Structure 1
């Protein structure tokens, strides 16, 4: 694991505090912060503009239910998720997640 600058470590701590129990999201966020460390050192104006803070906070999170009928006629209900992080370059990338093993932290 690469060491984060104090500023990025503080941001990571805020992510963990704000989104408790979402270990997968914490891991992904830390990996992104580690990869951005050298860029922010070379371009401090990005840190001043709070670009990283904007990247790690989703613009929108949608959680919904999807009722359906299986082959035996039993009604089932699944949860669906969509997390949209940044629309600055156009439409959001990604899709919807319905699998029973998926949770908000994974998406």
Structure 2
């Protein structure tokens, strides 16, 4: 559970990964000193890249069809980010509850 708290604090305060952890991952995530943390960091970078691509594609589509009524029903990048954030929090919470249930058995 400490990893969830550490990662949450890092995300909340926009803290970068420590250099020692990044350097330990040069041989691969599995052999690093913090594989779970590096995996979560990689996933967040992938999600940020995907969001950036979605925003870029949305901007390109808006330029092509400004009069289309479907553009009004699309979510803004902020709404998309909030949805992704709440879904990831819900996923983490579910994983934590599963882990606690397994420990209590």
TM-score w.r.t. the length of structure 1 is 0.33
Q: Which has the larger radius of gyration?
A: 2
TM-score w.r.t. the length of structure 2 is 0.34
With a CA cutoff of 8 Å and minimum separation of 6, indicate the structure with the bigger relative contact order.
Answer: 1
Q: Choose between structure 1 and 2: higher helix proportion.
A: 2
